[in-house]
Amino acid sequence: MIERPSLTSDGLDQVWALVRQRLERQGFDNRGRVRLPELSARARRNLAAVVGAPVRATVDLHRVEEGLRSLGVGDDLPAALAALGFAPSDEPARRRAERRAGKGARDAARAAAAAWSEPWASDWIDEVIRAGTIRGLDEIGAVALVASVRTVLDALAARADDPDALPLSRVDLAARLLGSAHGLDRGSRIEAATTRALARSLGPSDPSDLWERAGAHLDLTSGPALTWNLPVSATSGLAPLLRAAAELAVPVHLTQFALRRHPLTVPPGTDVLVVENPRIVEAAAQTRSPLPVIAAYGNPSAAVRLLLRQLVAAGASIRYHGDFDAAGLAMCARMHAFGLAPWRMSSADYLDALTEAHAAGVELPHDPAPVGPTPWEPALATLFASRRLVVHEERLLPSLLLSPR
C-alpha cells in the first residue's frame, strides 16, 4: 500500500471505495463516470490535481486512471486502487461469468434435447438441470452430455429390438460407447442423466431395476444375496451347492450371475425369513437353524431382489424383519411393497423390545431422523416418532430364528 496522505485523507477514501464498487459491479475494464459524494474543499483540490481538471458532480474514471498512473500509483486503475488500499475483488465478476456460462449451458442443453422425438424430452432436461447434473459444464460440455445420453438410449433401444440379445454389462456399454468403462458408473453425470431418461421412458423405479429393464446391468457378481438353508427344488442347478452348504453349516452368497444361470425354485408355501442384517444369517448357520434366512443388507441389491422374485414366483411364504429405526422402517415399507409380510415389526413388538431393554438396564440409541409411513401398521410410525429409541434386530436375535408361523 502506497503511503500518500493527500490521496486518502479528507474524504478521498470515499471516492476510492465508490470506484472499487463500480469496478466490482461493472467489471475491471469498465470506466465511464462516477458520481462523487460530498467532499471537502481540500479533497476536491486533491482530486482535481489527480485528474488535471476541476471536479464537479461526477468524475471521469479514464482521467482518474491516467492521473494515478502518472503519479506512479499503479499501472492501471485496479492496480492503483490496490496500492491505495482499496483493491477491487474479482469475485463478483467471476460469479457473473459463471451465471452467464451456466445459462448458456442450460440453453444449449435444452436446445439439444429439443431435437429428440420423445415427448418427455423437454421435461427430462429440465429435471436434469434442476438436479444440478450439468452444473459446472460449458455449452460444449452440456451438449456433449445430452448427446452421450442419446447414444446410450439408442444403443439400449436397439438391443431391446433384438430378441437374441443377452443382457449387457453397463461397464461394457460405457467402454464401447463412451470410451471409458467408468462412464456409466453410479453417480457420474451421464449415468444420472440417463437414469432419469429411463425413468421417463419406462416409468419410475429403482435405478438398478431401470437399467435391468433396459437391458443393461451394472454387473452380475457384485452385491450377492447372503443365504442360509434354502430348501431348493432338486431341479435347480444350484441345489447340490446349497445342500452341501447346509450340511457344512456354511452360508452361501448367491450372485445375479448364478441366479440368472440357475433360477431357484422352492416347494410352495416354504417359509423364508428375510432380515436386514447379515449377522442374523451368520447366527442361523452357527446354530444350524432349520429356518431359511436371507440377508437384505439394508437396501437390497439387484441379486437380492432377483432372488426374492424367484421365491415369490415359486410360492414361498416370505416374511421380513429389520431394525426399529427410521431407516429400518423405511426398508420394511419397501419390502412390504415388494410383497413381503412384515414379521414381528408391530407396535406391540417395538414396545416389548423397549421394555426388555429397560429391564436389562440398556440405554438404547436415539434416532432423530424423519419417520416415513409404515403401511402394514400406521400406528407404528406414530409410536416410533414419539419414542425415537432404536432397537437393532441383533438384540432380538434368538427370537428371530424361531419359525415365523
Q: Domain total for the chain?
A: 3
In tens, the pLDDT along 198-217 reads 999 988 877 777 888 888 87
Same domain, 205 and 267: no
Same domain, 210 and 345: no
- Of the candidates 349, 343, 223, the one whose C-alpha atom is nearest the C-alpha of residue 272 is 343
Same domain, 194 and 314: no
Residue 405 lies in a domain: no
- Cβ–Cβ under 8 Å, residues 390 and 366: yes
* Average pLDDT, integer, range 325-344: 94
3-state helix, strand, coil in the chain (%, to 5): 55, 10, 40
Residue for grid cell 424423519: 370
- Of the candidates 229, 402, 399, 223, the one whose C-alpha atom is nearest the C-alpha of residue 296 is 223
Same domain, 350 and 236: yes
Q: 89, 110, 128 — which closes off a domain? A: 89
pLDDT of 1 above 50: no
- Of the candidates 195, 186, 260, the one whose C-alpha atom is nearest the C-alpha of residue 221 is 260
Beta bridge partners, 372, equal none
What's the rounded Cα separation, in Å, for the pair 175 and 168?
Answer: 12
Same domain, 182 and 52: no
What is the per-residue pLDDT for 124?
96
Residue 110 lies in a domain: yes
Same domain, 182 and 34: no
Instruction: Look up residue 219 and give its DSSP letter.
Output: -
What is the per-residue pLDDT for 121?
96
Nine cell digits for residue 260 = 440368472
Q: What is the DSSP string of 340-394?
A: PEE-S-SHHHHHHHHHHHHHTT----B--S-----TT-HHHHHHHHHH-B-B-GG
Within 8 A by CB and 6+ apart from 98, the residues are: none
Same domain, 354 and 262: yes
Instruction: Look up residue 84 and give its DSSP letter.
Output: T
**How many C-beta neighbours within 10 Å does residue 260 have?**
15
More confident site: 297 or 393: 393
What's the rounded Cα separation, in Å, for the pair 51 and 346?
Answer: 83
The least confident of 209-223, 276-290, 366-380 is 209-223
What's the rounded Cα separation, in Å, for the pair 321 and 329?
Answer: 9
What is the per-residue pLDDT for 11?
78
The least confident of 133-147, 198-212, 224-238, 285-299 is 198-212
Same domain, 203 and 76: no
Residue 253 lies in a domain: yes
Same domain, 130 and 246: no
Q: Tell me if the pTM is above 0.85.
A: no
Largest CA distance in the chain: 105
Report the mean per-residue pLDDT for the chain: 90
In tens, the pLDDT along 31-90 reads 889 999 888 888 888 888 888 888 889 999 999 999 999 888 888 988 988 888 888 888
Domain span including residue 394: 225-400
What is the per-residue pLDDT for 5?
58
In tens, the pLDDT along 82-130 reads 888 888 888 877 777 677 778 999 999 999 999 999 999 999 999 999 9
Same domain, 237 and 313: yes
In tens, the pLDDT along 227-236 reads 999 999 988 8
